[in-house]
Amino acid sequence: MTLDRESLLNLAADEVAVAEFVNDRGGHIIRDDRVAEDGDPAIYWLTLQPRTAPDQKYFSRYQWFTYPYEPASITIVDGVRGSSHVRTAWPIIPGYRPDSFDICRPFCREGYQLHAEWREGSTAWRTQGNPFLAVVQTMQDQFDNEYRGRVA
Amino acid sequence: MAEENHPKEIKVKVTFPASPKHPYEDEDSREKTVGTVLAAAMLHFEVHDDAQFSYVLSYEGERQDPATTIGSLAGHREEIKFTLIKVITSG
């Protein structure tokens, strides 16, 4: 287990709304320890589909470290428990970088590591409300409105 | 005309999970624009546009033009639910 008990309880409370949101949009979410007995409860696997291309499924891996106090590490993978280093698993969306296998946006750990200035002001990580749902809604909005296809 | 059969008022709800506040809710004229609802919701959630972000209302996954009337989106429905989305302009 990589998460403290408070984080686990907070995630358990917030994941309900996340599941409702993604299910309503043809997506899916599952916590890693529900995939396999040796699973990590800090990790979630999300399946999202773009509004304009519902036949296209994209998988992402969320790993939380302390919730809601720090952003999750988020990467695109080629399936549940899949690899994060498969270019064709990635969507073409601004800020999603299939060459470095990361997302350069102010809602994930990788984005804040790349841009230290994002840790202050309006781009800072917000712990209020349901940050898990806020991030998933942001990603779904990008898939719905900024998606330009799958990386070849 | 079918439009005349619609109730004059429509229940509007805007959710914004990044806020600890309850959703924004109101009853508005069908002629009210998305932009007007957006402004009221941003006031409710105490957020504003800046150099890094702008806010939009999303309806059924689609970012909405501020000039669109909520009645034209809702059709015959008596309630319409938006999501307030923080759109990143940097990075």
Contact A122 B19 (CB under 8 A): no
Contact A122 B85 (CB under 8 A): no
pLDDT of residue B2: 46
Is some CB atom of chain A closer than 8 A to the CB atom of B46? no
pLDDT above 60: residue B4: no
Contact B61 A25 (CB under 8 A): yes
Q: pTM above the 0.90 mark?
A: yes
Q: Which two tokens stand for residue A116?
A: 């230290």
**CA A128 from centre of chain:** 18
Q: Which two tokens stand for residue B37?
A: 């609802």
Minimal C-alpha gap between B56 and chain A (Å): 10
When pLDDT is averaged across residues B48-69 and rounded to a whole number, the result is 95
pLDDT of residue B52: 85
Is some CB atom of chain A closer than 8 A to the CB atom of B81? no
- Domains of chain A (ranges; CATH) run 5-145 (3.10.110.10)
pLDDT of residue A149: 97
Q: Which two tokens stand for residue B50?
A: 């800046």
Question: Directed axis angle between helix A131-145 and helix A5-24, to 10°?
Answer: 30
Would you list which residues of chain A are within 8 Å, Cβ to Cβ, of chain B? 17, 25, 51, 94-95, 104-106, 111, 115, 121-123, 126, 128-131, 133-134, 137-138, 140-141, 144-145
Minimal C-alpha gap between B32 and chain A (Å): 24
The β-bridge partners of A24 are none
pLDDT of residue B8: 80
Residue among B17, B62, B83 minimizing CB distance to A51: B62
Domain of residue B16 covers 2-88
What is the per-residue pLDDT across B8-55, written as a single tens digit (0 to 9) for each? 889 999 999 999 999 999 999 999 999 999 999 999 999 999 988 899
Q: How many other CB atoms are found less than 10 A from the CB of residue A118?
A: 23
Q: Is the preceding omega at residue A68 within 30 degrees of 0, hence cis?
A: yes
Is some CB atom of chain A closer than 8 A to the CB atom of B18? yes
> Number of structural domains, chain B?
1
Confidence of residue B1 (pLDDT cuts 50, 70, 90): very low
pLDDT of residue A59: 98
**CB-CB contact of B26 with B40 (8 Å):** yes
pLDDT of residue B6: 66
- What CA–CA distances, in Å, run from A132 to A54, A82, B34, B53, B79? 23, 21, 26, 19, 26
Q: CA-to-CA distance for A110 and A101, rounded, in angstroms?
A: 10
Q: Which two tokens stand for residue B63?
A: 């970012």
Name A112's Cβ contacts closer than 8 Å, sequence gap at least 6.
A71, A106, A118, A119, A125
pLDDT one digit per residue (tens) for chain A, 152 residues: 579 999 999 999 999 999 999 999 999 999 999 999 999 999 999 999 999 999 999 999 999 999 999 999 999 999 999 999 999 999 999 999 999 999 999 999 999 999 999 999 989 999 999 999 999 999 999 999 999 999 99
Nearest residue of chain A to residue B90 (CA atoms): A105
Which of A107, A137, A144 would you mutate first to test chain B, the one with the most B CBs within 10 A?
A137
Q: What is the CATH number of the domain that holds B16?
A: 3.10.20.90
A137 phi-psi bin (left φ>0, alpha ψ -120 to 50, beta other): alpha
